[in-house]
Chains A and B, each alone.
Chain A
Amino acid sequence: MKEVELSQIESYLKLQNLLNPRFPLPKAGGWAASWELLLAAVKEAFRLDKEDLVIVEAGSGVSTVVFGYLIKNYFPKGELFSLEHDYDFYLKTKGELSLHGLEVNLLYAPLKPYSINGKEWLWYDIKELKELLKDKEIDLLFIDGPPQDIQKEARYPVLPILKPFLAKDFVLILDDANGEGEKRASLKWKGELEVYEDEFVHTEKGALILKRIEVKDYPFFSICIPTYNRANYLKEALESVLSQTYKNYEVIVYDDGSTDSTYQVVKGFKSEKIKYFRGDKNRGRPFARNRCIELSKGDWIVLFDDDDVLNRELLSKYAVAINSFPDVSLFYPRIINVKEEGKGTYQVLLPYDYYKNRPLLLRTLARKTPISNPSVCLKRELYLEFGSYSEEFPRAQDYHFWTRVLPFIEIKGLLTEGFTYRIHQNNVSANLLKSDFSYESVIKRKFIEIVPLEEIYSFDKENALSYFSKDLTFHQDFFNASYYSWLAGKDFRTFLKEAGLLLNKKELRLVLRALSFLKDGNFQAAASLSEKLPLFFSFLVGGTVSLKIKDSNSLYLLKRAVLLNPLFDFSSLIEDGSVLKEISYVKERLLKPKNSLELRKGEFVSLLKGGALEDICLRYS
């Protein structure tokens, strides 16, 4: 038996037991509401816990019998109003109610036209309902009609039409929420409510439970989008931002000197929410991010990238969370959709909510960025207190910022979809090979100056240096990992071996063979051998071959080689001045002391140069 069927039977039995009907409840499922959904609705009624509970249902049937028993048995002062436009159905339900001895306000309400926002819609005639309601407020709306074939988004009118009669904390339950029309209708409702809680119930056809909630504060958000030559993606990004269900926000687009049609794309939106600023020249991502924030007016900043797609409900979720967690200064979504061009979309769940979990947060910060940057929401005042993004970091500036800020504030992950991350050729972070991890190395080594090692690794303070060594290897910085291991008086050779710097006879022979292919100009053979070489030499040979054949990946490969071995004299193999300059920057990031623990680095370098490493690991000869 399928899981769904089992769940239906279980729900049916629970309802039978709870409602104790005179006769067994009539058949449900198929066209009628499912038992699972009805049980969920009954639970909501109990949660509301109002003596004079008022239920209105759009479309009658089995649900009318169920709610009839619910009112009769548990809410004797409450009332049920059931709207039915089909006369045959009306009679059928009436017969069922009489069989069960239930007294319910079953109303024959033919469909009639309504004008909503200048558009004509068909919905139940509520004349009789209005008269019967008098001054009562509707607590629970159960939507199972009218049928979809009447019009597109057939169920949408319920909220605008009944809005004046709804209780402040009303609950709306929508059957068949997986349907396309219902999905669109529910988004419109959410846009009208702005702050709400929603829950999707996995029934046969899917159901939505939507609750209006009362909040004290309606925060003003600034969605900050720095952009540079991404006109082709920016349009979709802005569309997603402007279709938020929550409305109290502005969008700051800072154009960092684009030379494409970015301006035209932004102006094409004609939205007052968008504030467009343009820099005179391209000054890099950290600068653009900082300008965005300077130009914003919101109390809360939502960071967003120009090539991603924001979840339409994210601001609303943030607004609710801001009201619920006043101690939190930063929220982040834990579900991210990843869209790979030409390959489809999949979901990634960030495993941790760091709320009230500082030890885990510190431990993670020492290894990698704990949260992804796009769609994070944080208090604007944090930038005033901790400073802006450092232009020292053309990449990973967000990780650097987090290491400076997160240890001192409370943060919370929301179990909601944040955005769709697009992987394409021009992604800053999608191509791992293109990532110069020497920046991450600097960030981590600076971080231990901000938070002491003993605090980060409080679970095993004595081995803090060794843990930090391992955390450095997360971004392949085996060189500094070996230094910290040496500092701890532990075996530092393991990391050198991992970096491919301690060679056995066989490896040494292969390295020499590959270098001799390079020397002879047999680049194809050198490249084939590079696959088999120890890590550093694999990148060194691969990068040099790429450089010789003018492949665009050459610099990335060589930078990775530098990361693994900043002591190697690359000028013994490479002549290109601009490449050597780039290499020298990476070397500096890795070799220059970044905290007081690194003052003995010179001693360690001398040890390696004095014989711990083979000559071939220091220069090509």
Chain B
Amino acid sequence: MEKVSILITGEPVLDDEFLSSLELNGEFIGEVIFPGEVRKTDTSFPIRSLNLTELKGGKVRNSLVKEANYENLLFLESKTLLEEDLVEELLEEKKESRADFVFPNLILREGDKEKVNNYAQVLGREVELIPSLSLEDYVPETSLLTSKEVVEKGGGFNSFLEDYELYEFMYRNVRKLKLSLSELSYATYEPLTSFIDTAYRAFVLREVVLKEFDWERELFPYLSWKENEKVAKATALTLIGKKLASYYDYFNAQNYLRGALLSFHNKETLRELVECFLNMGLFEKAREFASTSQGLTGEEVERERERISKIEQLIKELEEAVKEGKVREVIVASGQVLEVYRGAPLYNLLGVVNWIIKNSDSAFKFFYKATTMNPLNEDYLYNLTEVAKELSLTPKVEKLLKALLEDNFERS
């Protein structure tokens, strides 16, 4: 009987619910490997630990693959619950479809709530996913069955990446990969943290996707490159800018949006650019671009500038409150402000507040987000590095800056 090595990334969780879900598939599980330390548990298959300090990322994933004793590998994110027979179903699908990666649909659990995420079958249409610029919408991050051979032939995972390395691997190899959904299979995924380090997504988009694929034929084949190259280029650059902005990489997004405007000036791109500056906390710059000289009407300029000023005023008031030590009030007010504005200055403020109340882990995450949004701001960077020092996370910050600011990408 075929067996699999289950390779788990993320915080090791060995609760009863998780263990019993594994046991429901016990006859197909050869071993379970965690990167971090795990307690001894009585199961029908061995559970091993690599005793690594890092729990996620390309480096960890490569180590897991290296340590696996079975050819079939099932990557799970902690914490994923397998339905009965799921492993068998995935193995069957892999055999029938001869796919390199097989995955189920997901039931996402957040607290008491469960949400079903049905995926589309992409087998045979893998390259059509490239123009989406977001593979993660079509293939889940967890419950992916593959093999050692596929990983090795594909050149392994990028050890620079602390997140998104699975998708980077898929982008890099998509022309020769077969991905298949096991239509009626489901796994339940309960993410242990809501924090996603999106800087690596943006990095992969810029350094792999945009460089690996031909823009006219593979990335944006539906644009009228031959009929009107300038408009096509502006559209492509705007789409990239918007995607980067969705990953909070406003710094790089604004570069693409500026390029789009230079190619073909248009209001849609301009609005995105103003939004980027606003989210980076560059209020003056946002006002400068929201102008009649950029093609907006007087009424549009007035409306836009009023909105920018109101947000700026809100942030100033919160900053004043922090200075006055009104921590509780700032936390309450921030929740309301977040509904209208989710820019870097606000995340920085939340970092400061958490720092004040000695919640260093949360402070780090907020400063990290603020810096992701605007890595050129000295205040955010100072705050982040200070907390990082305290938590011994300086290398993580160095990697973040490398991911956001360094153009030359080398897979190490």
Task: Report the minimum CB–CB distance from A320 to chain B (whole Å).
Answer: 52
Q: Indicate whether B5 reaches chain A with its CB closer than 8 angstroms.
A: no
Q: A505 contacts B85, CB within 8 Å?
A: yes
Contact mask for chain A residues 513-527; partner B; CB cutoff 8 A; 1 contact, 0 none: 100010000101100
Chain B contacts with A in 163-217, Cβ cutoff 8 A = 183-186
Please judge, given known A-B contacts A505-B85, A506-B89, A509-B84, whether A532 and B184 are in contact too, CB under 8 Å: yes
Please give, as numbers and ranges, the residues of chain A lying within 8 Å of B83 by CB-CB distance: 509, 513
Please judge, given known A-B contacts A505-B85, A506-B85, A509-B84, whether A525 and B184 are in contact too, CB under 8 Å: no
Chain B contacts with A in 99-149, Cβ cutoff 8 A = 105, 107, 113-118
Please judge, given known A-B contacts A525-B107, A532-B105, whether A506 and B185 are in contact too, CB under 8 Å: yes
Q: Smallest CB-CB separation from B105: which chain A residue?
A: A532
CA distance A517 to B113 in the complex (A): 10
Q: B186 contacts A513, CB within 8 Å?
A: yes
Please judge, given known A-B contacts A506-B89, A509-B83, whether A532 and B114 are in contact too, CB under 8 Å: no
Q: B114 contacts A522, CB within 8 Å?
A: yes
Task: Report the minimum CB–CB distance from A471 to chain B (whole Å).
Answer: 30
Task: Report the minimum CB–CB distance from A163 to chain B (whole Å).
Answer: 57
Q: Smallest CB-CB separation from B84: which chain A residue?
A: A509
Please give, as numbers and ranges, the residues of chain A lying within 8 Å of B183 by CB-CB distance: 532
Chain A contacts with B in 500-540, Cβ cutoff 8 A = 505-507, 509-510, 513, 517, 522, 524-525, 528-529, 531-532
Interface size on A, residues (CB 8 A): 14
Interface of B is mostly: strand
CA distance A528 to B105 in the complex (A): 11
Task: Report the minimum CB–CB distance from A520 to chain B (whole Å).
Answer: 8
Q: Smallest CB-CB separation from B113: which chain A residue?
A: A522
Please judge, given known A-B contacts A522-B114, A525-B115, whether A506 and B107 are in contact too, CB under 8 Å: no
Q: In the complex, which of the residues A506, A509, A532 has the most CB atoms of chain B within 10 Å of its own CB atom?
A: A506
Q: Smallest CB-CB separation from A534: which chain B residue?
A: B184
Please give, as numbers and ranges, the residues of chain A lying within 8 Å of B107 by CB-CB distance: 525
Q: A532 contacts B84, CB within 8 Å?
A: no
Chain A contacts with B in 47-66, Cβ cutoff 8 A = none
Please give, as numbers and ranges, the residues of chain A lying within 8 Å of B118 by CB-CB distance: 528, 531-532
Interface size on B, residues (CB 8 A): 16
CA distance A532 to B114 in the complex (A): 17
Please give, as numbers and ranges, the residues of chain A lying within 8 Å of B84 by CB-CB distance: 509
Please give, as numbers and ranges, the residues of chain B lying within 8 Å of A509 by CB-CB distance: 83-85
Please give, as numbers and ranges, the residues of chain A lying within 8 Å of B89 by CB-CB distance: 506
Chain B contacts with A in 265-318, Cβ cutoff 8 A = none
Task: Report the minimum CB–CB distance from A528 to chain B (whole Å).
Answer: 3
Contacts across chains A and B counted by CB atoms under 8 Å: 32
Q: Smallest CB-CB separation from B83: which chain A residue?
A: A509
CA distance A136 to B117 in the complex (A): 84
Q: A525 contacts B185, CB within 8 Å?
A: no
Q: B114 contacts A525, CB within 8 Å?
A: yes
Please give, as numbers and ranges, the residues of chain B lying within 8 Å of A528 by CB-CB distance: 115-118
Please give, as numbers and ranges, the residues of chain A lying within 8 Å of B185 by CB-CB distance: 506
Q: A510 contacts B186, CB within 8 Å?
A: yes
Q: B115 contacts A507, CB within 8 Å?
A: no
- Taking a contact as CB atoms closer than 8 A, the residue among B85, B115, B184, B186 that contacts A524 in the complex is B115
Q: B116 contacts A529, CB within 8 Å?
A: yes
Please give, as numbers and ranges, the residues of chain B lying within 8 Å of A513 by CB-CB distance: 83, 186
CA distance A506 to B186 in the complex (A): 10
CA distance A522 to B108 in the complex (A): 13
Please give, as numbers and ranges, the residues of chain A lying within 8 Å of B115 by CB-CB distance: 524-525, 528
Chain A contacts with B in 214-232, Cβ cutoff 8 A = none
Please give, as numbers and ranges, the residues of chain A lying within 8 Å of B116 by CB-CB distance: 524-525, 528-529
Please give, as numbers and ranges, the residues of chain A lying within 8 Å of B85 by CB-CB distance: 505-506, 509
Q: Smallest CB-CB separation from A517: which chain B residue?
A: B114
Q: In the complex, which of the residues B116, B184, B185, B186 has the most CB atoms of chain A within 10 Å of its own CB atom?
A: B116
CA distance A507 to B114 in the complex (A): 20
CA distance A509 to B115 in the complex (A): 17
CA distance A509 to B107 in the complex (A): 14
Contact mask for chain B residues 55-86; partner A; CB cutoff 8 A; 1 contact, 0 none: 00000000000000000000000000001110
Please judge, given known A-B contacts A525-B107, A532-B105, whether A506 and B114 are in contact too, CB under 8 Å: no
Task: Report the minimum CB–CB distance from A470 to chain B (whole Å).
Answer: 27
CA distance A524 to B184 in the complex (A): 18
Please give, as numbers and ranges, the residues of chain B lying within 8 Å of A532 by CB-CB distance: 105, 118, 183-184
Please give, as numbers and ranges, the residues of chain B lying within 8 Å of A517 by CB-CB distance: 114
Please give, as numbers and ranges, the residues of chain B lying within 8 Å of A510 by CB-CB distance: 184, 186
CA distance A505 to B185 in the complex (A): 11
CA distance A522 to B107 in the complex (A): 12
Task: Report the minimum CB–CB distance from B202 to chain A (whole Å).
Answer: 30
Please give, as numbers and ranges, the residues of chain A lying within 8 Å of B113 by CB-CB distance: 522
Task: Report the minimum CB–CB distance from A472 to chain B (whole Å).
Answer: 28
Q: In the complex, which of the residues B84, B89, B186 has the most CB atoms of chain A within 10 Å of its own CB atom?
A: B186
CA distance A556 to B378 in the complex (A): 62
CA distance A507 to B185 in the complex (A): 9
- Taking a contact as CB atoms closer than 8 A, the residue among B117, B184, B186 that contacts A507 in the complex is B184
CA distance A206 to B336 in the complex (A): 70
CA distance A101 to B114 in the complex (A): 94
CA distance A525 to B118 in the complex (A): 10
Please give, as numbers and ranges, the residues of chain B lying within 8 Å of A506 by CB-CB distance: 85, 89, 184-185
Q: Smallest CB-CB separation from A527: which chain B residue?
A: B116
Task: Report the minimum CB–CB distance from B114 to chain A (whole Å).
Answer: 5
CA distance A78 to B117 in the complex (A): 83
Contact mask for chain B residues 307-334; partner A; CB cutoff 8 A; 1 contact, 0 none: 0000000000000000000000000000
CA distance A536 to B185 in the complex (A): 19
Q: Smallest CB-CB separation from A520: which chain B residue?
A: B114
Please give, as numbers and ranges, the residues of chain A lying within 8 Å of B184 by CB-CB distance: 506-507, 510, 532
Please give, as numbers and ranges, the residues of chain B lying within 8 Å of A529 by CB-CB distance: 116
Q: Smallest CB-CB separation from A524: which chain B residue?
A: B115
Please give, as numbers and ranges, the residues of chain B lying within 8 Å of A524 by CB-CB distance: 115-116
CA distance A505 to B105 in the complex (A): 17
CA distance A135 to B184 in the complex (A): 86
CA distance A205 to B115 in the complex (A): 61
Contact mask for chain A residues 555-586; partner B; CB cutoff 8 A; 1 contact, 0 none: 00000000000000000000000000000000
CA distance A237 to B386 in the complex (A): 79
CA distance A528 to B85 in the complex (A): 21
CA distance A547 to B62 in the complex (A): 50
Q: Smallest CB-CB separation from A505: which chain B residue?
A: B85
CA distance A505 to B107 in the complex (A): 19
CA distance A525 to B117 in the complex (A): 9
Q: In the complex, which of the residues B107, B114, B186 has the most CB atoms of chain A within 10 Å of its own CB atom?
A: B114
Task: Report the minimum CB–CB distance from B293 to chain A (whole Å).
Answer: 41
Q: Smallest CB-CB separation from A506: which chain B residue?
A: B184
Q: Smallest CB-CB separation from A513: which chain B residue?
A: B186
Q: Smallest CB-CB separation from B182: which chain A residue?
A: A506
Task: Report the minimum CB–CB distance from B112 to chain A (whole Å).
Answer: 9
Q: Smallest CB-CB separation from B117: which chain A residue?
A: A528
Q: Smallest CB-CB separation from B183: which chain A residue?
A: A532
Task: Report the minimum CB–CB distance from B294 to chain A (whole Å).
Answer: 37
Task: Report the minimum CB–CB distance from A327 to chain B (whole Å).
Answer: 55
CA distance A510 to B185 in the complex (A): 8
Task: Report the minimum CB–CB distance from B186 to chain A (whole Å).
Answer: 7
Task: Report the minimum CB–CB distance from B119 to chain A (whole Å).
Answer: 11
Task: Report the minimum CB–CB distance from B116 to chain A (whole Å).
Answer: 3
CA distance A509 to B184 in the complex (A): 10
Could you give 17 example pairs across A and B, Cβ below 8 Å?
Answer: A506-B85, A506-B184, A507-B184, A509-B83, A509-B84, A510-B186, A513-B83, A517-B114, A522-B113, A522-B114, A524-B115, A524-B116, A528-B116, A528-B117, A529-B116, A532-B118, A532-B183
Q: Give 13 A-B pairs besides A510-B184, A522-B114, A525-B114 with Cβ atoms closer than 8 angstroms.
A: A505-B85, A506-B89, A506-B184, A506-B185, A507-B184, A509-B84, A509-B85, A510-B186, A513-B83, A522-B113, A525-B115, A528-B116, A532-B118
Interface residues of A (CB under 8 A from B): 505-507, 509-510, 513, 517, 522, 524-525, 528-529, 531-532
The 10 closest A-B pairs by CB, nearest first: A528-B116, A525-B116, A506-B184, A525-B114, A529-B116, A522-B114, A532-B184, A528-B118, A510-B184, A525-B115
